[in-house]
Amino acid sequence: MPGALSLTDDDRATLDGARGEAARFAMRILTRTAGAMGAARLLDVTSAHIDGCLYHGRAGLDFARRLADDGARVTVPATLNVSSLDLLHPELVHLDPVIAADARAMMDAYVSMGCRPTWTCAPYQLPERPGLGEHVAWAESNAIVFANSVLGARTGRYGDFIDICCAITGRAPAAGLHLDEERRARTVFRVGGIPDALLDDEAAYAAIGHLVGRATGNAVPAIVGLPSNATEDHLKALGAAAASSGAVAMFHAVGVTPEAPNLDTATGGGEPTLDMAIGPTELRAARDELSTVGVGAAVGSVSLGTPHCSVAELGRLAELVEGRRLAVPCFVNTGRDVAAEAPDLIAVLREAGVSIVTDTCTYITPIIERAATPVVTNSGKWAWYAPGNLGFDVAFATLKECVDSAVAGRLVRDPEAWGDA
Amino acid sequence: MPEPVRAIVPGVATGEVVVLDEPLSFWGGLDPETGRLIDTHHPQAGVTLMGRVLAMPSGRGSSSSSYVLAEAIRAGTAPIAVVLGEADAIVALGAIVAAELYGIEVPVVVTPALDLVSGRIVTVRARADGRAEIELV
């Protein structure tokens, strides 16, 4: 409620303009929003990840310009999320030139405030990242869920506008997942009976995440039964899918993620409101729910890397495509820093005809043309959003199925992987 | 005593109520060029929200919804007031930014009862001290 927020002398000085007009404006937006959230106070953050650089219309440009023109500077390290453009491969994006110019101006405004031009939705793949218990202000649903769950850092569900206000002031509302009691699991999911080969693939984790998100809504879930050697790429796929099909901003993988050595610790001893089993049947159902076309259907392209591919994922893809001829276009989204780290893998992928997309993503800006559909993807998030956002048919598949489908030009299923009868 | 209506973003507006049966994510759900509900998964896809008092159980989905709401308010295609069954920071932020940036106030209020009827004309009055009223006109 407005009025319940208590500010430090420092916060009040910023609000009174002692640090300049831009900081005053940022603090004003922040305190009004903190009031609406019912926060009792603000707290310090050590980094920010800014999602406001993706263009959805004039208001975002007006907002960024207002701050930049008033001399705004970030006071904590701030990375930038994907934009509407691929600055390294501009020929890939078919955006209206007027919109592209505004999108570029907005990106420039954020860079001028001192944000790092990382243009990635996977800031956790960069060398500097927050540790256990560290308060940060991260935006972008997959980055938020990864920071809270896998890194054990603490961020609320921040997004456009508030992200840069936190970065300028170095403060965030002390609410939501910043607080211990909000981080406890209230639902439990028990994974069992999934073939080992499938549990080696990100698609299994995306399917689990999809199911968890659908069932848990905005409650923090605890997932029991994931292998202790689940990789960050696996957990990334799970979190991104859960944050798309549901409002999941944090999950516990018992025995895997840092705040869940066991189920009791994850739930804080509380009784779960939901206890659900996830086995091969549920995984196949999730796969089919995320697909609008079936096995054998002609496919137009393949899209990978939502969220952005890591070096390890680029490596797996390179192994699968090397020496093969792709019948349809294949796009892989990745961060420019990750691509720069792995020039040899990028060369192998290009040689095989894979298009490398950086700085943006194929589900938020026009890259794939309608003629190149249906699209096969291993991303639960892409498969969830694309039919609505882009009006495209889609098939959700393992990485190997994606590559086999790209070679065949039709949807190839691996019945052994999914345990189809 | 029913729970009182709470103001989370101040302002005053009078208009026709449109009640949504399910929560709407403005990102992917509201077209800021036309003011129409465009989420094809939503049971009321196609209705216009422009110039109306939007009532729905809660906000939903992407944090980019703040941006889309602020953009619709700037473009004049947004609802003129939002009535929610539960508080939502993402909806509030979109209205706060539009107020601070363009001086256009779209009141956002919370009323757990959410007993509004589509088609009625109401005045939503949300004050800076957190008090609010919804009155039939």
Is pLDDT at A421 greater than 70 in this prediction?
no
* B32/A62 touch (CB, cutoff 8 Å), yes or no: no
For range A70-76, the mean pLDDT? 98
Contact in structure between A268 and A260 (CB atoms under 8 Å): no
For range A334-343, the mean pLDDT? 98
Chain B segment 25-44 residues within 8 A of A by beta carbon are: 27-28, 32, 39-41
Given this model, what pLDDT does residue B1 score?
53
Angle between helices A232-245 and A380-389 (to 10 degrees): 30
Count: domains in chain A: 3
* A54/B32 touch (CB, cutoff 8 Å), yes or no: no
Judgement on whether residues A98 and A150 belong to the same structural domain of the protein: yes
Angle between helices A399-408 and A202-216 (to 10 degrees): 110
Is pLDDT at A65 greater than 60 in this prediction?
yes
Judgement on whether residues A127 and A226 belong to the same structural domain of the protein: no
What residues contact residue A33 under an 8 Å CB cut-off, 6+ apart? Answer: A162, A165, A173, B89, B92, B93, B96
* B8/A52 touch (CB, cutoff 8 Å), yes or no: no
Given this model, what pLDDT does residue A4 score?
82
pLDDT tier at A34, thresholds 50, 70, 90: very high
For range A118-146, the mean pLDDT? 97
ipTM: 0.95
Q: How far does the CA of residue A324 sit from the closest CA of chain B (Å)?
A: 38
- Provide the CATH number for the domain formed by B6-136 in this structure: 3.50.30.10
Given this model, what pLDDT does residue A3 score?
54
Any domain includes A378: yes
Return d(Cα A103, Cα A99) in angstroms, integer.
6
pTM for the model stands at: 0.95
B66 counts as catalytic: no
Residue B39's CB is within 10 A of a number of other CB atoms, namely: 20
Return d(Cα B73, Cα B124) in angstroms, integer.
17
For range A91-104, the mean pLDDT? 96
Contact in structure between A394 and A290 (CB atoms under 8 Å): yes
Of B58 and A164, which is predicted with more confidence? Answer: A164
Judgement on whether residues A205 and A263 belong to the same structural domain of the protein: yes
Is pLDDT at B3 greater than 80 in this prediction?
no
User: What phi, psi does A64 have (nearest 5°)?
Assistant: -65, -40
Given this model, what pLDDT does residue A1 score?
44
* B71/A56 touch (CB, cutoff 8 Å), yes or no: yes
Letter for the amino acid at A238?
L
Any domain includes A2: no
Range of A192's domain? Answer: 184-288
Given this model, what pLDDT does residue B28 score?
85
Nearest to A1 by CA among B51, B95, B130: B130
The pairing of beta strand B81-84 with beta strand A354-358: unpaired
Q: Is B67 on the interface with A (CB under 8 A)?
A: yes
- A60 closest CB neighbour out of B27, B61, B67: B67
For range A238-257, the mean pLDDT? 95
Judgement on whether residues A113 and A208 belong to the same structural domain of the protein: no
The pairing of beta strand A42-44 with beta strand A171-173: antiparallel
For range A404-410, the mean pLDDT? 98
Any domain includes A1: no
Domain boundary residue among A139, A164, A180? Answer: A180
- For chain A, give the secondary structure using H, E and C: CCCCCCCCHHHHHHHCCCCCHHHHHHHHHHHHHHHHHCCCCEEECCCEEECCCCCCCHHHHHHHHHHHHCCCCCCCCEEECCCCCCCCCHHHCCCCHHHHHHHHHHHHHHHHCCCECCCCCCHHHCCCCCCCCCECEEECHHHHHHHHHHHCCECCCECCCHHHHHHHHCEEECCHHHCHHHHCCCEEEEECCCCHHHHCCHHHHHHHHHHHHHHHCCCCEEEECCCCCCCHHHHHHHHHHHHHHCCCCCCEECCCCCCCCCHHHHHCCCCCCEEEEECHHHHHHHHHHCCCCCCCCECCEEEEEEEEECHHHHHHHHHHHCCCCCCCCEEEEECHHHHHHCHHHHHHHHHCCEEEEECCCCCCCCCCCHHHCCEEECCHHHHHHHHHHCCCCEEECCHHHHHHHHHHCECCCCHHHHCCC
Given this model, what pLDDT does residue B82 score?
98
For range A303-319, the mean pLDDT? 98
Contact in structure between A173 and A166 (CB atoms under 8 Å): no
Minimum CA–CA partner of A33 in chain B: B93
For range A288-300, the mean pLDDT? 96
For range A111-120, the mean pLDDT? 98
Domain boundary residue among A258, A288, A318? Answer: A288
Is pLDDT at A23 greater than 80 in this prediction?
yes
* A140-198 per-position pLDDT tens digit: 999 999 999 999 999 999 999 999 999 999 999 999 999 999 999 999 999 999 998 89
Minimum CA–CA partner of B127 in chain A: A2
Domain residue ranges of chain B, discontinuous segments joined by +: 6-136
Q: Report the residue of B66, B69, B84, B105 to disrupt the A interface, i.e. the one with the largest count of A CBs within 10 Å.
A: B66
Judgement on whether residues A137 and A192 belong to the same structural domain of the protein: no
Return d(Cα A317, Cα A170) in angstroms, integer.
39
Return d(Cα A50, Cα A55) in angstroms, integer.
12
What residues contact residue A10 under an 8 Å CB cut-off, 6+ apart? Answer: none
CA B19 centroid distance within chain:
10
Is pLDDT at A373 greater than 90 in this prediction?
yes
Residue A158's CB is within 10 A of a number of other CB atoms, namely: 35
Is pLDDT at A33 greater than 90 in this prediction?
yes
pLDDT tier at A216, thresholds 50, 70, 90: very high
Return d(Cα A374, Cα A301) in angstroms, integer.
7
Selecting among B25, B58, B62, B118, the annotated active-site residue is B62
Return mean pLDDT, chain A: 96
Q: What does each C-alpha distance from A214 to A96, A211, A264, A388, B25 come to in angstroms?
A: 35, 5, 23, 17, 16
Share of chain A above pLDDT 90, in %: 94
Judgement on whether residues A227 and A357 belong to the same structural domain of the protein: no
Domain boundary residue among A288, A303, A338? Answer: A288
pLDDT tier at A2, thresholds 50, 70, 90: very low
Is pLDDT at A105 greater than 80 in this prediction?
yes
Any domain includes A316: yes
Any domain includes A86: yes
* B60-93 per-position pLDDT tens digit: 767 789 999 999 999 999 999 999 999 999 999 9
Given this model, what pLDDT does residue B2 score?
64
Query: What is the DSSP secondary structure assignment for residue B22, as one 8-state letter?
Result: S
Judgement on whether residues A230 and A277 belong to the same structural domain of the protein: yes
Is pLDDT at A405 greater than 50 in this prediction?
yes
Judgement on whether residues A67 and A144 belong to the same structural domain of the protein: yes
